[in-house]
Homo-oligomer: A and B are copies of this chain.
């Protein structure tokens, strides 16, 4: 099996920011998912107290959107992209909270890092807001679900 080539590494292994100047501007979307495993009592509390107000999830959604907009500042070799929109959705399940984020842009390169960053920061914000009552949360299943270009 031949070795895959790393687009961010020069021939001598030096990190670099890939030149995308020759690529066309296209409509691009990416959807990522993730999951915050919580105790049943945390989910009950979220449902009873926080969800009627929507606050924990609203704060997480706002944090996610704001982080998507600075993905290029957080991930060193990412390009700066003008986001056309970001959606962040949550679903409370039996063992935790599922997160799903979609980022949209009209740019020369894809937006999967923006979607993945939004999911990660949403998860960290939920963790932060629930950590006083739940010491055993775990964040996982962060992955790309779909990517389009047109």
- For this chain, the copies found in one complex come to 6
- Are A61 and B14 interface neighbours, CB within 8 A? yes
Which single residue of chain B is at the shortest CB-CB distance from A136? B143
**A97: CB under 8 A from chain B?**
no
Q: Which residues from 1 to 33 on chain A have a C-beta closer than 8 Å to any C-beta of chain B?
A: 1, 3-9, 12-21, 27
Q: Can you sample 30 A-B contacts with CB below 8 Å?
A: A3-B41, A3-B49, A4-B45, A4-B132, A6-B49, A8-B56, A8-B128, A13-B53, A13-B55, A16-B85, A19-B84, A19-B85, A20-B84, A20-B85, A21-B104, A53-B54, A53-B58, A55-B58, A59-B76, A67-B74, A74-B74, A74-B124, A75-B124, A79-B82, A82-B82, A82-B107, A112-B131, A116-B124, A139-B140, A140-B140
